[in-house]
Amino acid sequence: MTAARITLVLGGARSGKSRFAEQLAAAGTRVCFVATATAGDENMSHRIARHRADRPETWTTIEAPTALAETLRPVVSGFDTIVIDCLTMWASNILLAASDAGAAEAAAEAETAALVALMRDGGAHWILVSNEVGLGVVPATTLGRDYRDLLGRVNQRVAAAADRVAFLIAGIPLELRPWSPE
């Protein structure tokens, strides 16, 4: 079994992150797509349906709005490629389920550590998608600032563990961590 590979794909909204991640995953033969979004409104329901329709039918889809490591641990050995799309929604789900920002931070830290340990433990290629939300204006609300900070810390922890990191701008990937051919 080959060593685990971790690829983090960052970018802004509608930057092409998901499409890029799916292109990377297409090289896999046994692909698991992990969806973290929940359909909270009609718009999100349509986005989820569109993303689902765009994925190859041969891929296995698992819905996991939280507890990624716990959900994936029993099945991870059955896949050579695992796409998590996206950490953005996952962090939001953690924040909204917590009693306060401190509890959300503790939950995100524990879940991120468990996920990183799981990714390093096996031989799959992990491709994680996340928004970079720290480049814009400071959010006007406490919840917005808490979310930006929480996601920023999650992104930093995953980037530190990643072998490859790309930042997408207008569909064009920029290499942030040395990128070597496989």
Is 51 within 8 Å of 35 (Cβ atoms)?
Answer: yes
**HEC states along 4-70?**
CEEEEEEECCCCCHHHHHHHHHCCCCCEEEEECCCCCCHHHHHHHHHHHHHCCCCCEEEECCCCHHH
Task: Classify 152 as helix, strand or coil.
Answer: helix
Dihedral sign from CA coordinates of 176, 177, 180, 182? negative
Q: Which of 5, 51, 153, 177 is catalytic?
A: 51
How far is 92 from 65, CA to CA, in rounded Å?
A: 9
**HEC states along 77-137?**
HHCCEEEEECHHHHHHHHHHHCCCHHHHHHHHHHHHHHHHHHHHHCCCEEEEEEECCCCCC
Active-site residue, 51 included = yes
Catalytic residues: 51
